[in-house]
Amino acid sequence: MSVKKPSSLDKMLGRADRLDAAGLRTLVQRLARERALLDGVFNTLQEGVLVITGAGDIDYSNDAARRIIGFKEESGAASLWRLVPGLRATLEGEGRAGMRGTMPLVTREFELSYPQARVVRLYMVPFDQIEGEGERFAIILSDITSEKKSTEELIENEKISSVLLLAAGVAHELGNPLNSLTIHLQLIERKLKKLSGSKEADSLGESIRICQGEVTRLDGIIRNFLEALRPRPPDLAEVNVVEVIDDVLRFQGKELEDRGLKVEGELPASMPVIMADRNQLKQVFFNLIKNAMEAMQPGGKLGIHVRADDDSVYVLIADTGAGIKQEDIAKLFSPYHTTKTGGHGLGLMIVQRIMRDHGGHVGIESKEGTGTVVTLQFPQKHRRVRMLKS
């Protein structure tokens, strides 16, 4: 077995207590050169390098790490858990954080929107513990934005292809209302030639109403199809989600009343702002509230609660409807999958896409016979970050 030969610096450190003033100056200069050399090496790397304590405090960071996570060295001590919200929870969820000696290599991917939109892969391993300093971990950060973007574009293209393949089904859906429109418009045209204040006006009015209903249905099918097929990037601005929800509830208030549904919840007037596209946000809330209404019978309750923590704003939309089967929950965001009679199956797909574009999450919990709760998580203006699935 080979034994590592001690360097001259090791020898000097071993007898540091016996050095005179000149020797100590030489030692300090050697140590400074060694530190500068190591800093130079680490700062040439494209990957970020961090050393953190068990509490998440950053002991060391190279230039790339500071650039990736938006940490300014002159700002003093910082915590990785604060710079990347959600990371600590996902580590502790596996019972790994704080378990030096038993924790294997940990890999995570997360998406940062601050200080710049990027996707980061993290490798974390325990550091050899130095007596009296507590546990420490070495972390390597790799910017995989380009790699992830290519993969996501491929997935998105496959989704669009699947939607295009289903266009024939949409065309069939359009055929029935168009035929109905044609027939009733022909009837109107014939009757108009004969009418001169006769009793046939009532019949004509009924035909007109049928046409209006079919036009509305046709417009809805086309609009949802085009939204799913040609997504528009969000026009981000400061938005208060409570104000947007109030607008949507005012618009849907008459339908809620006609269905005999009550609205309960907690909508605090003062909420942290988020960066969002107001119109796309309205579409998210409209689709989810519409789904909740259609799932309930008269007397049902629609619950809407808004809350915030240091980094995110949460919106919970709950109904007391029939609930969703567990085997259907995983399919809810798939194109054209629907649990409703007459549904087009694009609403939740659009919701998920808008939430992703806003750096947010959407989660659904449901129990048959009890109801469904949809949770939306939006990053606040100062912190747009999203953890990705392992």
Given 149, 173, 195, the domain boundary residue is 149
Query: Do 76 and 192 reside in the same domain of the chain?
Result: no
Residue 99 pLDDT: 43
Residue 303 pLDDT: 93
Is residue 141, in this structure, part of any structural domain at all? yes
Residue 116 pLDDT: 72
Q: Which residues pair with 125 in a beta bridge?
A: 138
Residue 129 pLDDT: 64
Query: Do 291 and 340 reside in the same domain of the chain?
Result: yes
Helix ranges restricted to H, the chain: 8-14, 21-44, 63-69, 80-83, 87-92, 145-165, 167-194, 200-229, 241-258, 278-295, 326-329, 347-357
Given 194, 209, 230, the domain boundary residue is 230
Query: Do 225 and 235 reside in the same domain of the chain?
Result: no
Cα–Cα distance between 316 and 244 in angstroms, integer?
Answer: 14
Q: How far is CA 307 from the centre of its chain?
A: 17
Query: How confident is the prediction along the chain (390 residues), in pLDDT tens digits per residue?
Result: 445 555 555 555 566 666 677 777 777 787 788 778 877 788 888 888 998 888 888 888 898 888 888 877 655 568 888 888 777 776 665 444 444 444 457 788 877 777 777 888 888 888 766 666 678 888 899 888 877 766 666 676 676 666 656 665 666 577 677 677 777 777 777 776 666 666 666 667 677 777 777 777 776 666 666 655 566 788 889 999 999 999 889 888 888 998 999 999 888 888 888 999 988 898 899 889 998 998 899 999 999 999 998 888 999 999 998 888 777 776 777 655 555 554 455 678 788 888 888 888 888 888 888 888 999 999 887 765 454 544
Q: How far is CA 218 from CA 172, 221, 223, in A?
A: 11, 5, 9
* pTM of the complete model beyond 0.75: no
Query: Do 309 and 333 reside in the same domain of the chain?
Result: yes
Query: Do 111 and 235 reside in the same domain of the chain?
Result: no
**Can you tell me whether residue 43 is helix, strand or coil?**
helix
Contacts of residue 168, Cβ cutoff 8 Å, sequence gap at least 6:
none
Residue 359 pLDDT: 85
Q: How far is CA 365 from CA 267, 325, 329, 368, in A?
A: 21, 10, 8, 10
Query: Do 176 and 297 reside in the same domain of the chain?
Result: no
Say if residues 108 and 383 touch (Cβ distance below 8 Å). Answer: no
Cα–Cα distance between 177 and 211 in angstroms, integer?
Answer: 9
Is residue 2, in this structure, part of any structural domain at all? no
Given 230, 248, 264, the domain boundary residue is 230
First to last CA, the chain: 40
In the chain, the number of structural domains is 3
Domain interval for residue 82: 8-149
Residue 42's CATH number: 3.30.450.20
Query: Do 138 and 165 reside in the same domain of the chain?
Result: no
Residue 300 pLDDT: 92
